Structure 1
C-alpha cells in the first residue's frame, strides 16, 4: 500500500462500530460540521461523504481541504494538547460525530486499536508531507506545492475554491506575492485559470 494511500479497510472497520453510537449529520456546503455547543477537542468526527476544510482558529490557518472518507479526533480523549479547530463543509456532506470518550470505549470494546493506529499513522504521514511542502521552503515552492495539491481535487471542488484565497490561507504568503506568481505562471501557459479558479496545469517550473 503506497504511503499516501488512505487505509480504507481500517476506516470501514472503525466506521462500522463508531457509527453505532454516533449522531448523524447531513449538511450543505458552507455549514459548520459541528453544532455551536461542540468543539473539536471533545468529539470524534467521521465524514463518510463529501469534502471538508480544516481550520486552526488561532492565527486563522487553513490546514487543508480533505475529501472523504475522513476521521478527525480519533484520539481526542487521550490527547491533552488543546488547540481549537473548525471543520467546514466544502460540499454536501454526511457523516456522524460522537463524544471522544465514547470513541475510546469503542476502540477498547471491539479491539480496534490496530485500525486506529493505521489511520493515525496515515494522518501523521499527511502532516509530514504538508510540512515538507511549507516549512523551510521559499514562497514559490510553497505556491507550487499548493497548486499541485489543488489539481488533485475533484473538478467540482476546484471550480468552487479561489486559488489566491486558498494559497494565502494555507501559506500566509502575502496576496500581492501570490498574485504576481500566478500571473507569471498564467503568462507562461504553465497553468490555466478561469474566474480565479484552477482549471489545469501543463507543468510547473522547479524554480521561479
Structure 2
C-alpha cells in the first residue's frame, strides 16, 4: 500500500518565516552537525533557509523526518518541551537562529496563531504517517515504502544515498533484514542498483 504524505502548509510556513526572519541571527551549519534547542541561558527555534535538515530522536538516533525546503523548526519544543529530539544538518545549511523569548510576542502582534496551528498539525500528521509506514508492519512492506520514498528524491540527492543506510536510519530495522528484502527484489528484477547499494532504480515493486 502506498501512503500519501500529508500536504505541506507552504503558505503558513512562508508567512511565519517572513514574520520571524527579522528577529534572528543568520548562522551557517556544516554537514552532519547536530543542533540543539537550548543552552543553559536561552532556548531557540530555527528557520531553514538553505540546505537539508533532519529531525532525530535523541534516545537512539532514529531519523524522524527530513526536508530541504524552507521550514520552521521549534514551535513544539517551545510550547510543549520534551527534549526528546534534535536537528541534524544533512548538507551545509543556512539557518536563522531565533531566541524563543522574541517569538510569541511577534506571533501575537501579527496574528499568526492559525499558521502556527497549521504547522504543528502538519508535524503531527507526518509522525502519524511515519508510524503507519513502520509500526506493526512486516519488513517487506516497510522496505518497499522507503524504497519508493527514496526513489522520489531529486536525482542529484537520490544517487548519492546508500539504500541500506537510508532505510535503517528511518526504521531501526536490522541491516540483514533490509538486505534480505532488497537482494530478493533485485534478484527478481523488481529493482536495480549499483555496487555498494547506490543509484536505486525501481522497475516495478510487487504488491
TM-score, normalised to structure 1's length?
A: 0.86
Q: Shift in Å at residue 64 of structure 1?
A: 2.9
Alignment correspondent of 2:151: 151
| 2:60 paired with 1:59 | yes
Secondary structure, counterpart of 1:179 in structure 2: helix
Instruction: Kindly indicate whether the alpha-carbon contact (under 8 Å) linking 1:159 and 1:199 is maintained by their aligned counterparts in 2.
Output: yes
| Cα distance between partner residues in 1 of 2:199 and 2:55 | 20
Alignment correspondent of 2:34: 32
Q: Structure 1: which 5+ runs fail to align?
A: none
CA gap 1:96/1:5 in 2 versus in 1, 3 angstroms: same
Instruction: Kindly indicate whether the alpha-carbon contact (under 8 Å) linking 1:107 and 1:113 is maintained by their aligned counterparts in 2.
Output: yes
Residues matched between the structures, number:
202
Q: Shift in Å at residue 43 of structure 1?
A: 1.9
Instruction: Kindly indicate whether the alpha-carbon contact (under 8 Å) linking 2:160 and 2:199 is maintained by their aligned counterparts in 1.
Output: no
CA gap 1:107/1:164 in 2 versus in 1, 3 angstroms: same
Q: Structure 2: which 5+ runs fail to align?
A: none
Structure 1 residues 119-138: aligned runs within 5 Å: 119-138=119-138
| Cα distance between partner residues in 2 of 1:10 and 1:65 | 19
Q: Shift in Å at residue 33 of structure 1?
A: 4.5
| Cα distance between partner residues in 1 of 2:141 and 2:91 | 28
Q: Shift in Å at residue 3 of structure 1?
A: 7.1
Give me the CA root mean square deviation.
2.3
Q: Shift in Å at residue 16 of structure 1?
A: 0.8
Instruction: Kindly indicate whether the alpha-carbon contact (under 8 Å) linking 1:90 and 1:157 is maintained by their aligned counterparts in 2.
Output: no
Alignment correspondent of 1:189: 189
Alignment correspondent of 1:23: 25
CA gap 1:161/1:34 in 2 versus in 1, 3 angstroms: farther
| Cα distance between partner residues in 2 of 1:177 and 1:76 | 34
Alignment correspondent of 1:70: 71
Q: Shift in Å at residue 30 of structure 1?
A: 2.5
Alignment correspondent of 2:86: 86
| Cα distance between partner residues in 1 of 2:65 and 2:120 | 17
Alignment correspondent of 2:109: 109
Q: Shift in Å at residue 54 of structure 1?
A: 1.7
Secondary structure, counterpart of 2:124 in structure 1: helix
CA gap 1:143/1:38 in 2 versus in 1, 3 angstroms: farther
Instruction: Kindly indicate whether the alpha-carbon contact (under 8 Å) linking 2:46 and 2:73 is maintained by their aligned counterparts in 1.
Output: yes
Instruction: Kindly indicate whether the alpha-carbon contact (under 8 Å) linking 2:32 and 2:91 is maintained by their aligned counterparts in 1.
Output: yes
